[in-house]
Chains A and B, each alone.
Chain A
Amino acid sequence: GQNIDQPTEMTATEGAIVQINCTYQTSGFNGLFWYQQHAGEAPTFLSYNVLDGLEEKGRFSSFLSRSKGYSYLLLKELQMKDSASYLCAVRSDYKLSFGAGTTVTVRA
């Protein structure tokens, strides 16, 4: 079975940094993805990690430790438009399994 855990909610101030953690226990592993989803909309791809380490993409960075079954998404210089749900997903057995998502609220 697949078990992917992430916090339910986080709140941060505009311009600040927020780190969203994701831990996973899956029957296989072929990569970890982060998606952003605004309310009522489709998820959009943010990042992909398959090897240990940090991947940086502008204001967003993602980290993976396969031995610990752990990843985080780092959002820097938060903007109001970053208020959304962030989904951690693990690929194994030819399909993606998703965590429940972390709702991030950015306050002015």
Chain B
Amino acid sequence: DGGITQSPKYLFRKEGQNVTLSCEQNLNHDAMYWYRQDPGQGLRLIYYSQIVNDFQKGDIAEGYSVSREKKESFPLTVTSAQKNPTAFYLCASSISSSTGSGYGYTFGSGTRLTVV
């Protein structure tokens, strides 16, 4: 069955460490996205990629980095520069980012990151 896999489900990070969150999809989707969700807040866009080897900053990209070397994979690195990284991170994909599609996003099950 096609879908998006995020790993790990729970991640603990010490202050000053970089950590990488994995996101893999087998839906043959062109576009992929990373969102952060904090309690009582909506999803905020970190980075997105419309095509392999290209990506753009979202609304809260500071302290994060991504790569898109393969269509299926869009890993997110939370660097030590991110001052408040504890949050629920969601990866999503869509057929394309084209404007006319009624297809929304397919989301992964999320990674809960906690700084200890």
Listed in ascending order, the chain A residues whose CB lies under 8 Å from chain B are 4, 8, 30-31, 33, 35, 40-45, 48, 50, 87, 89, 91, 94-101
Contact = CB atoms under 8 A, between A and B. Distances in A.
B97 A42 contact: no
Interface stretch (B60-68, B77-85, B102-110): B102-110
11 contacts: A30-B100, A33-B104, A40-B112, A42-B109, A50-B102, A89-B104, A95-B33, A95-B48, A95-B97, A96-B105, A99-B42
Contact of A30 (B43, B45, B48, B99): B99
Contacts, number: 59
Given A41-B109, A42-B90, A94-B97, A35 B104 contact: yes
Given A91-B99, A94-B99, A95-B58, A100 B42 contact: yes
Contact of B42 (A30, A50, A87): A87
Interface residues of B toward A: which range? 20 to 34
Nearest to B110: A42
Contacts of A91: 99
B40 interface: yes
Contacts of A95: 33, 45, 48, 58, 97
